[in-house]
Amino acid sequence: MQSEASQTKSQVMLALAARQNTLNQVAAAMASCAESSGILAEGPDSDNRFALWARGAVSESGLDMVWLMDSKRNITSSWSRPGNSLVPKEAPSVPKDVSMGLLDLPVCGPVIFARHLLPKDPQNRELWVVTLIGASVRTSLWNTSGGELSLVKWQGALLANPEAVPIDASSHWVASKNRLSVSWLVRNPEGDIIAFFRASQPVPYIHLQAVSARRMVLIVLSMSMSLAGLVIVGAHILITGPVVRLLRRLQDVDQLESDSTDNLTRGLHGEPLMLAKKLQGAFRDLAHISKTDELTGLANRRHFEEVLNAFFHQAIRYRRPLSLVIIDVDFFKAINDAGGHLLGDELLKTVSRSILHACRQADLPARIGGDEFAILLPETTAPDAAAVAERIRRLLKTETTSSEELQLNVTLSIGVADIASKDIKAHADLVNRADKALYTAKERGRNCIVEFDAITGEPKSLSGNGASRDTLQKKLAGLDSRFKDVFLQAVQEIVDLIEQRDHYMRDHVHKVQRYVVLISREMGLPDALIQRLEISAMMHDIGMLSLPDSVLLCPDELTPEQVQAMQSHPLQAVQMMQGMEFLEQEIPAVRSHHEYFDGTGYPDGLAGAAIPLTARILAVADSFDAITSPRTFRGAKSTSEALDEIRKGSGTQFDPAVVAAFLKVAEQLGDRLVIAPRDEASPSPNLRFESDPTGPSEVVHTVHDV
């Protein structure tokens, strides 16, 4: 019932809106005609001209009233059908943005109106056209609703049956003697209620509509069910079947070999085929990723061990040769600390390229650790594998790894073993022997190749009768000395890397070592202390490796924040040296070489005798070289100017006793005080250092010594 009411109301209001649009078009046409015909001219007979024109213009339009209204809302000219004086005395109030709608005129009740502005009229008048909602209009609206339609002027106090009129704006049905009536309110453009429509329809007509609607619903339901069945069957044929087959294959994906994933696409089509191809590509990518080292592109450790195990058993069964090469990059950690992880990654890529170029198609190169590589060489004896290793070393010599500041020449330590050695029962035995050969290469000074079978003089077991305490102590002392030499050589290479970054730092460490030795000998210090000072001078600036380039290579004077970062380098150096027992005696000098004698230095604010003597000596040597070396923001000072500054700092920045010894040395040596250490033999023969054969870099930067 409610749906029938809504449908009736909707049909009537749509028909009414259509009549309003037609009336609006008539108003626009009449306004255009009025402006072009000249009837708007003022004069004594202007009203007669307008009435004559309006009567001719509305003969077939069904209009009941036409009038002109000026900008002050006064009706200046009007016309109405003969016998009726219906034109209102006062112009109705309508919002400016409303051009058509319903009005309640006091002279005639609810009407349909339309208005149109005369844009060319100097008085900005409007043309209004009005149609009464009479019998002819209601009859045309009845045809849309299938019943009788009446329009009742709204007078709430005169209603005999208030229930017949909805007080709200919704439709309302009332049943009476086989007829059903629906009523709804009618409002003017300002929202005021002016009347209500009442449409009355016979019950049989509504029954016919319900039966027709029911029949249509049944037809639609039947067609929908048939279409749904077709969709289900088609979906099963085109989609469900292939998807089910694909899902069944994916359930067994763990049983598929990496090279047999083509079975995923067999018998599929459409979207399932596209999905299967994407899965197929994903499986292949995952298989490649699971076997490959991301950085170098070589095989990873897991894949290498799987292949090594399979090849080992095959070689043992058929008595075929098989060799293993293990490669370690010399001093990789020191290089990584000096140049950063990006430089370290580039170094590993360079090594991997050399390995790939030297290997055959049947060989399997892999990265099995941070800086450790391995090569599995089937059908290859140990001597032939050593030849491959030597080819890698030669190729690497032609490669250079560099960053913006550093350029490196990389060397390798290589161990070789094959299954021809005795007592090899598993692939782990082959790996252990190649590892032993690698460690032997490191002990022999690195940058060499060692075959396991060529190792001689393997250590014998020590029993109570086999070795004396003195012999054991000598061996341990020799190992300790060799370890220190290797470490100091690595530190020297790091120092050379620092000097390559800035030509202003060229020979800084060597010159500071020279000055501390001269001061120490003048003060009569023992040789052991002098040697510790030389090592301290070598280590005193390694903390600068941790500083960013914005501080270390700043071309101008440092900001307060950069000064604070620079002043942290002694503590950074101490952190690098901690844990190495043989450097415990050098740590105090490195930590305190920027302490001032009056207590205003850093990092601990020590003063006087609380500052270690080695640090006081290192402070004078370091400061003198900094004063006599150029910087981008200042030039180098002369020897006499530098000595004057050292003399002025006595008692405030420097220890007076150390200053006195240094000034005495300077007086004795004269012009020979400041000479390049490369032009003079090292003051102490106890330290063995090797310079970088490539020489310092030509890139110009500045390292600040604060």
Q: Are residues 508 and 422 in the same domain?
A: no
pLDDT at residue 30, rounded to an integer: 86
Q: Are residues 334 and 278 in the same domain?
A: no
pLDDT at residue 681, rounded to an integer: 43
Q: Are residues 348 and 273 in the same domain?
A: no
Among 261, 291, 321, the domain boundary falls at 291
**Residues paired with 183 in a beta bridge:** 172, 198
Q: Are residues 555 and 510 in the same domain?
A: yes
Q: Are residues 281 and 313 in the same domain?
A: no
Question: If residue 227 lies in a helix (H) or strand (E), which one and from where to where?
Answer: helix 203-235
634 in a domain, yes or no? yes
pLDDT at residue 519, rounded to an integer: 93
Contact 186, 195 (CB under 8 A): yes
Q: Are residues 187 and 257 in the same domain?
A: no
pTM (2 decimals)? 0.37
> 387 exposed, middle or buried (CB, 10 Å; 0-12, 13-18, 19+)?
middle
The rounded distance, in Å, linking the Cα atoms of 356 and 302 is 19
pLDDT at residue 523, rounded to an integer: 92
Tell me the CA distances in angstroms from 195 to 35, 100, 148, 157, 382, one per residue in order: 35, 17, 17, 13, 112
The rounded distance, in Å, linking the Cα atoms of 270 and 306 is 39
Strands (E) across 10-133 are located at: 65-69, 75-80, 100-105, 109-117, 126-132
Q: Are residues 284 and 307 in the same domain?
A: no
Average pLDDT of adjacent 10-residue blocks, the chain of 706 residues: 71 85 88 78 77 75 83 84 72 85 84 87 86 78 68 60 47 56 82 81 60 69 75 64 63 52 58 64 72 91 92 91 94 73 87 93 92 94 94 86 62 92 86 92 85 65 37 47 61 65 67 91 90 86 74 74 82 75 79 92 88 92 87 76 92 94 91 66 40 32 32
Q: Are residues 149 and 195 in the same domain?
A: yes
pLDDT at residue 399, rounded to an integer: 78
pLDDT at residue 242, rounded to an integer: 65
Domain at 18, CATH number = 3.30.450.220
Domain at 569, CATH number = 1.10.3210.10
686 in a domain, yes or no? no
223 in a domain, yes or no? no
Q: Are residues 361 and 315 in the same domain?
A: yes
> Nearest to residue 203, comparing CAs of 3, 4, 7, 15?
4
pLDDT at residue 210, rounded to an integer: 56
* Domain boundaries, position 73: 2-204
476 in a domain, yes or no? no
By DSSP bridging, strand 412-418 and strand 449-451 are parallel
The rounded distance, in Å, linking the Cα atoms of 519 and 615 is 12
Contact 299, 365 (CB under 8 A): yes
> 342 exposed, middle or buried (CB, 10 Å; 0-12, 13-18, 19+)?
exposed
Q: Are residues 407 and 523 in the same domain?
A: no
Angle formed at CA 517 by CA 511 and CA 520, multiple of 5 degrees: 140
pLDDT at residue 688, rounded to an integer: 39
695 in a domain, yes or no? no
- Write down the H helix ranges in 292-328: 301-318
pLDDT at residue 246, rounded to an integer: 63
pLDDT at residue 468, rounded to an integer: 41
Among 413, 437, 458, the domain boundary falls at 458
| Cα atoms found within 13 Å of the Cα of residue 552, Cβ hemisphere only | 20
466 in a domain, yes or no? no
511 in a domain, yes or no? yes
Q: Are residues 272 and 305 in the same domain?
A: no
Q: Are residues 655 and 675 in the same domain?
A: yes
353 in a domain, yes or no? yes
> 386 exposed, middle or buried (CB, 10 Å; 0-12, 13-18, 19+)?
buried
Q: Is the Cα torsion angle 631, 504, 678, 538 positive or negative in sign?
A: positive
pLDDT at residue 685, rounded to an integer: 38
- How many separate domains does the chain show? 4
